[in-house]
Structure 1
Amino acid sequence: MAVCRFAPSPTGRLHLGGARTALFNWAWARHSGGTFLLRIEDTDRQRSLPEHEEAIIAALDWLGLERDGPAVRQSERAALYQAAAERLVEEGKAYRCYATAAELDELRTAQERQGLKPQYDRRWRGRTDWPATGEYCLRFATPTEGDCAISDLIRGEVSVANKEFDDPVILRADGSATYNFAAVVDDGEMGITDVIRGEDHLTNTLRQVHIHRALGQEIPRFAHLPLILGRRLDENGEPATLESGEPAYERLSKRNMAVDVDHYRQMGIIAPAMVNYLAQLGWTQPGQEVYTPAELAAAFELGKVNKSAARFDLERLQWINQQHLRALPPAEVAELAGIETSAEAIEIGMEKARTLTELREELSWLQPPEGLDATLQGQLGDDNREAFAALVQRLEKLEEFSQGAIKQAIKDCCKEHGLKFPRLGMPLRVALTGKTKSPDVALVASILESNICCERLRSVSKIGK
């Protein structure tokens, strides 16, 4: 049984990459019958904001990624990190570094001038001649011989020579823990067995393995997810292409749709569809395109996550959303969209709508139209004005206000006045919906029902000159 965690920093809202990471951790935990935990990594005191934490938790709740237990906050665990760091110092696995910012800047400049990789030169490692006063940080004594290797659940064997690493700071001069150190201490204390995160953390992972070993902790299994790419845009904001004519992609950013999850909820994507699509950004279930979160958890396997980068496709997301909406009872779709109407109207709207926003647009004719005079006037002329007035009167007197009866009333008026159907159907459509395009006008009128339909017709301020 896997113990997984999602560990966001509340320096912003939950974006697509973070949401996918949370989802894969949740799915793997549920698939194995394990535990899914939430850790808020809020050690960045200046950028971490309560409203961002609230937004992240709200997004996770909306997605349905329920957690096992309350959130853990790093800002409340300083004593734990302090104790772990001091133990490493006592065991000779970490040390005090009194190097000043100016000294480190000078070192970096000299290394860059020589074409060397900028890194700390371990000048305080092994020393005990600590000054009586002065600020210092604690650095981890990284092994300098051999290699650091992991067996990644997605990428396989990954190994880097230890000489490539310097000695990272684990406690800053103000006593606060750095990311890599706090994460390792927390993973050990929380019993995390599987760490699933983006491939951009791969270097961090190797650093953390050293710290796990130094603390005597069991090293978790690691899985590094592929990047998510979005369409590259040109200077005009249009999708760019390669010389071959193929679409050009780049790492997902705010410029190419890497906005927060709430953006997609606001545009009318429903949570099960978002979960479905996020899962497909790196993982697929053979022979199945649309599935529920429960089906995802049952089938999900980390070993089947792709190594190659995933490509975000808004149209694909909208298509999946449409399939999920169509699978719901019309009453539930109406409730999600905040629309009070019949099942028949919802089914009409879903013929084209892919999102709740588009559904509301498709069914905008359910609301009374505004500013009709000019539009309606353009549909009326000397040939059909009198016939339209007669049609309104005929509709008001209909005993059965059905689609068939309404259509027949239009046909009868057209026949009496020598008109073709559109010459009465179109002004009727405009009077009822405010638009020149809508579903079948007789169907629209029947859904609106007699009292609303006739009220709208009577409310038209003028159908003449």
Structure 2
Amino acid sequence: MKSIRTRFAPSPTGFLHLGSARTALFNWAFARHHGGTFLLRVEDTDHDRSTLESEAAVLEGLRWLGLDWDEGPFRQSERSDRHRAAIASLIASGRAYRCVCSKDSLEERKNQDLASGGNGLYDGRCRDLTLGADCGDHTVRIRLPQEGALAFDDLVFGPSGQDASQIGDAIIQRSDGTPLYNLAVVVDDIDMEITHVIRGADHHPNTPLQVAIYQALDAEPPFFAHVPLIVGESGKKLSKRRDNVSIQEFQEEGQLHEALVNWIVRLGWSHGDDEVFSLDDIARLFDLDHVGRSAARAEPAKLQWLGQHYIKGLKNDELFQRVKPFLEEIAEQPVQDSPGLSHLLDALRERSHTLMEMAEQTRWLIRDEIEYEEKAVQKHLRPVSIPLLQALRTRLESVETWDEGQLERAFEHVAEQEGGIKMGKLAQPTRVAVTGRAVSPGIYETLVAIGRERCLARLGAGLSIAEARAAAQTGS
């Protein structure tokens, strides 16, 4: 059996798209599972839209996901001589021919054919004219059989194909001499000895024509596997307006790459009831037998669950390094690790699905000035909280060791002193005073993270807010 060779062939016209990332992952995984070769080829022949910046963004996206390649990146634009040579050989063998039909003439004849009940395919006017290179402006068309199936056995969708009479003699070279996608991709896959073409189901209709081009070039087609399209949670096509569609967007919102890869591989592939897969697991387990045919639904809730799963598994040092860029974005200054911050990050594992979500919950610690949530202030920093906060601040000033045990005893003392009130009536005003929010990790964990001096200062600021509200209510 020939050694497995797969490829990922993105067009550098934007960032790495979710569907393209899934295609890259499936090709990478199939090659790794079978001990084969995974190569990267940049299909940059769309000169108007292809940019080096987009190419760099695609490559960076692959690296961030942890997908390495064995050969490449090759660039389709650098292989134009090879494409022209293949077209010339097809013309010389009679398997392709020059066509001088103008666009207007083609459109007129197509419309006439459709009006009379035809299929609107090219009518073959230039098929037997044997036009030479001196014929003037022309395209080049492949000479397809006039009947017979152009069939292939898709490794996902099963027996597939189309009758040649339903395709017509397709153009393979534009009038400016550049090859069309279907010709270029076939020539490149032949030269690079690709054994398996794994790509989105939107390419399934292109494949019969590509099979015909393989046959015209006397080459054996590779195995084709068309994987299901990805749809949004609602079942509708992914929308840039409604859904995250680029890997960069996921990266910017603080998704862990391990979680994203795990989520992506499950978009169309399964392995029993398992849900959690590392890259090593994917390479060990992936095969095409368990790729489904139905559209793969991208459900954000599953990604959130995986994000929290992987965040909980990170060691403290690695967690800080991963979340640090997001911390500094919020703090607007460099952020150094500290026992308090490390303690807080550890406590936030259970509350965080992304690194940005985790960083956002540290805002009250890493910024000197806290931002008060209006609803939290209205609900908890009321005049009734003034004696509670005063008593607590006094008690905390005398705490010898600023740790959770000592702080818990201080809270219990004040609660008992104030008539045996429930702990929430003391903890919530304190939480809002020192964080600006009604939600944080446990109150003792929160106070330890902030530190004695800042806690006492913030309790004072919280008291001032409550006292100002009391004064406003009494009109004094």
What is the TM-score of this pair, normalised by structure 1?
Answer: 0.90
2:370 is matched with which residue?
A: 370
Q: Deviations over 1:123-178 (max 9, x none)?
A: 11121255945201111111223211111111222132221111111111111110
Hey, what's the Cα distance between the residues in 2 that align with 1:294 and 1:141?
A: 46
Q: How does 1:246-285 map to 2 (within 5 A)?
A: 249-257=235-243, 259-285=245-271
1:92 is matched with which residue?
A: 94
Which deviates further from its counterpart, 150-159 or 89-98? 150-159
The answer for unaligned runs of 5 or more in structure 1 is 233-248
SS at match of 1:351: helix
- Shift, 1:21, TM fit: 0.6
SS at match of 1:139: strand
Hey, what's the Cα distance between the residues in 1 that align with 2:17 and 2:180?
A: 23
Please, which of 224, 227, 247 is the counterpart of residue 226 of structure 2?
A: 224
- Root-mean-square deviation (CA, aligned residues, Å) is 2.3
Read off the aligned partner of 1:366 and give its amino acid letter: L
Q: Percent identity?
A: 38
Which deviates further from its counterpart, 320-329 or 175-184? 320-329
- Shift, 1:387, TM fit: 4.6
Q: Deviations over 1:48-104 (max 9, x none)?
A: 222222221111111111111331111111111111110111111111111111111
Please, which of 25, 38, 56 is the counterpart of residue 36 of structure 1?
A: 38
1:358 is matched with which residue?
A: 357
Alpha carbons 2:100, 2:137 under 8 Å: kept: yes
Distance 1:79 1:281, change over 3 A: same
- Shift, 1:195, TM fit: 0.3
Residue 413 (1) aligns with residue 414 (2): yes
Alpha carbons 2:100, 2:135 under 8 Å: kept: no
SS at match of 1:174: coil
Distance 1:252 1:371, change over 3 A: closer
Q: How does 1:18-417 map to 2 (within 5 A)?
A: 18-130=20-132, 132=134, 134-232=136-234, 249-257=235-243, 259-338=245-324, 339=327, 340=337, 342-367=341-366, 368-372=368-372, 379-380=380-381, 384-417=385-418
Q: Deviations over 1:396-445 (max 9, x none)?
A: 33211111211221232333344624443233212211112222212211
Hey, what's the Cα distance between the residues in 1 that align with 2:385 and 2:133?
A: 99
Alpha carbons 1:384, 1:419 under 8 Å: kept: no
Read off the aligned partner of 1:272 and give its amino acid letter: E
Hey, what's the Cα distance between the residues in 2 that align with 1:115 and 1:80?
A: 40
Which deviates further from its counterpart, 332-341 or 91-100? 332-341
- Shift, 1:382, TM fit: 5.6
Read off the aligned partner of 1:17 and give its amino acid letter: G
Read off the aligned partner of 2:393 and give its amino acid letter: V
Alpha carbons 2:389, 2:463 under 8 Å: kept: no
- Say how many residue pairs are matched: 449
Alpha carbons 2:6, 2:194 under 8 Å: kept: yes
Hey, what's the Cα distance between the residues in 1 that align with 2:459 and 2:322?
A: 30
Alpha carbons 1:199, 1:226 under 8 Å: kept: yes
Distance 1:384 1:121, change over 3 A: closer
Distance 1:94 1:382, change over 3 A: closer
Alpha carbons 2:363, 2:370 under 8 Å: kept: no
SS at match of 2:351: coil
The answer for unaligned runs of 5 or more in structure 2 is 328-336, 469-476
2:330 is matched with which residue?
A: none
Alpha carbons 2:144, 2:168 under 8 Å: kept: yes
1:243 is matched with which residue?
A: none
What is the TM-score of this pair, normalised by structure 2?
Answer: 0.88
Q: How does 1:454-465 map to 2 (within 5 A)?
A: 454-457=456-459, 462=464, 464-465=467-468
- Shift, 1:112, TM fit: 2.2
Alpha carbons 2:373, 2:436 under 8 Å: kept: no
Distance 1:423 1:289, change over 3 A: closer
Alpha carbons 1:231, 1:256 under 8 Å: kept: no
Q: Deviations over 1:304-345 (max 9, x none)?
A: 211222111111111122212222223322321225455542
Alpha carbons 2:381, 2:462 under 8 Å: kept: no
Hey, what's the Cα distance between the residues in 1 that align with 2:104 and 2:157?
A: 40
Q: Deviations over 1:254-313 (max 9, x none)?
A: 344252111112222111111111111111111421010110111001122112221111
Distance 1:266 1:158, change over 3 A: same
Distance 1:187 1:380, change over 3 A: closer
Q: Deviations over 1:369-399 (max 9, x none)?
A: 5355986687456655345234223323321
Hey, what's the Cα distance between the residues in 2 that align with 1:387 and 1:461?
A: 10
Distance 1:63 1:103, change over 3 A: same
1:431 is matched with which residue?
A: 433
Hey, what's the Cα distance between the residues in 2 that align with 1:373 and 1:120?
A: 67
Q: Which runs of 4+ in 1 moved over 4 A?
A: 129-133, 371-384, 458-461
SS at match of 1:176: coil
Read off the aligned partner of 1:359 and give its amino acid letter: M
- Shift, 1:39, TM fit: 1.0
SS at match of 2:283: helix
Alpha carbons 1:270, 1:321 under 8 Å: kept: yes
Alpha carbons 2:199, 2:226 under 8 Å: kept: yes
Read off the aligned partner of 2:390 and give its amino acid letter: A
1:239 is matched with which residue?
A: none
SS at match of 2:232: strand
Hey, what's the Cα distance between the residues in 2 that align with 1:332 and 1:132?
A: 67
1:242 is matched with which residue?
A: none
Distance 1:3 1:46, change over 3 A: same
- Shift, 1:346, TM fit: 2.4
SS at match of 2:71: coil
Alpha carbons 2:200, 2:227 under 8 Å: kept: yes
Higher helix share: 2
Which deviates further from its counterpart, 455-464 or 161-170? 455-464
SS at match of 2:72: coil
Hey, what's the Cα distance between the residues in 1 that align with 2:167 and 2:373?
A: 75
